[in-house]
Structure 1
Amino acid sequence: MAPTPKRRIKNPKHSSPSPSSLSLSSIQPPLTLLPSKTDFFKLLAVVSVAVTVAIGCNYVVIVFNRQPKPFCDSHTDIDYYLSDNCDPCPSHGICSQGKLECMSGYRRYGRSCLEDGYINEMAKNLANMVESRACESYSDYLCKGSGKVWVQGDELWNHMEKDNATYLYAKQKAMEIVGNLLEIRHTGTGIKELKCPDLLVEHYKPLSCSIRLWLLEHALFLASCCFLLMGFGLMLQRLRRRHYLSVRAEELYEQVCDILEETALTSRSVNGEGEPWIVASWLRDHILTPRERRDPLLWKKVEELVQEDSRLDRYPKMLKGEPKVVWEWQVEGSYLQSSGKKKKDNIKERKLSEGSNMGSNQDLKRLKPGELLKC
């Protein structure tokens, strides 16, 4: 019997893979093939930035390369707002063949026409010059009589005439401004004349001229006011003088009575050797100040009061060959003495309260009758 062959055991390490194992290993991907979650978000951010930059660059290229639409002609009947081929011509502009030109006095800013500030300033200066010349001429006419009331427009513009288009347009605008400020009239020959309004010309008059014209315009009213003020002042002065004369005459009359009464008492106390009367002119010169002597009306008021007093007697007397008028106190008896003493005390108390301005009159009252007559 033949022996059975021995099976050769193969080393598992060196055994070849089976077909099933080869197919499974080829289907499953390696673990390092797919990105991680962090790498995925980084990739997404980079892609977003790249797309944004590409879109922006594309938009800039389109904007810069886009040609603006031409302007529609100004003299065509195309409805600007319904036209897609051209833009409407802006105000104050002239469009022809798709191009824009601004009118005089306007400048192009982008696709519009704006007013030129330099021309406006020039127009205002021209208008001010014309206004000054017209108003100064009217002012000279009112103040000196040498100017004109109505000035011809050509005289105002000829001295600053120029030929450039900018000046002509500024002059046109200045004439519009002047037309709103000044009065305008047309003569029979078609010449335009300008006049400064009365309210505006007041600002061009000198101060002395304005005052003189105002005085002339209101001369009648001012004269009436002056006469009224003078009359009121004279009446007030007369009333004050009358009051002063009345008060001062009464004061002097009281002094005269006191002096005459004291003189009469003194003459009777010396056994009749003294004179009971006093010369009126001497008494006047003693009790009046030098300034009061120049006012004859004051002493006349005193004489009237003396004449109305029944206690005083007035009669003429010859002294040294000259006729004099003397005054004498006529009250006799105990009543004379008591009343005289009482009045004398009252007079002294009143004089002390009046002040130093009556010092001269107090000294005069202390004079004795003999001393008064000697004076």
Structure 2
Amino acid sequence: MSDTPGAATAGPVTTPENGFAPGADDPPPTGLIAPRRARRIAGLGLLAVLLGLAALSSVLFGARMLDPATVWQALSHAASDEANIIVNEIRLPRTALGLLAGLSLGLGGALMQGHTRNPLGDPSILGVTFGAAFVVVLGIHFLAIDDLRTQAWLAFVGAGAAAVVVYLIGSVPGRGPTPITLALAGTAVSWLMYSLVSGIVLLDQDTMDNFRFWRVGSLTGRDPSVIGQMLPFVVVGVVLALANTRALNALALGDDTARALGFRIGWARATGLLAITLLTGVTVAACGPIAFVGLIVPHLARAMVGSDHRWLLPYSGLLGAILLMAADVLGRFLAPPGELQVGVVLAILGAPFFIYVVRRRKLLAL
């Protein structure tokens, strides 16, 4: 398929409104559109069922084994005090946090790969992760802040500030940011923040000891109140992400073609980057930096539904939540009597997938 404006407007099948992925194979005949849509809707239903099973597993299984009857009694507040505490004060908030975090990271990864047209892109390219880490370290080192809830707000401020800096540095005068300039600016800012963080924690043992608990990436040890604080940011981020889908489909054809189709490039990218910042920034703030979800999930979703972002983003959000909660449940059994944090489990699972993605030549461009 040509990337020229003339080719994009030669027929209705290449426009972002029709539901076909730009750059994908030729669309099917009209009679096959309805079955394809039905399959995609059925796929969303299947993912919703899997998400429910992952959430159920997160509530049922843990270091302290409880039979299903006891869990049900705890949910109805008819069980012992110990079971009530385990289920209602530990597992349920942990499950809700995993659902929000996985949804946010999956959507953020799909948006990031779409806007940078980089198959190895994840939200950390925008500088969000190390921007958050830098401000958290500053709070620990200079203000002696060791409260996780306060650290979460510091992390969100740092994530947002880093995203703004990357956007400004990556903006080409008169044109706004481009995929290449965003990736380069994000990499530069990330490495700068990483160097500053490393310098501070190496100079202060107390700061290092405090920071490493936030840095590992975990769903445990978080105040349940953080879920309510996180929810509005996630809702706004999801709305902005879904509103950005048609623009992403057009941008995949090239900036000139997107302009010819009537899209405002700068506005579309600003909307996408704001969504990425909200979704990943609040997740990093609440859980610490959790790697590989934003990298792995969009590829899995793309293999299932193609490159049409109107379907790719919902699939990525559901798959992200499923993957994160499944990894969290798996970590509870890998190092008895303790458990592995979800960030460690995802690193173990994600590294081989990363190598696989790098070695597949046809994934070198989106």
Q: TM-score, normalised by structure 1?
A: 0.17
Rg larger in 1 or in 2? 1
Larger RCO, structure (CA 8 Å, separation 6 or more): 2
Q: TM-score, normalised by structure 2?
A: 0.18
Q: Which has the higher strand share?
A: 1
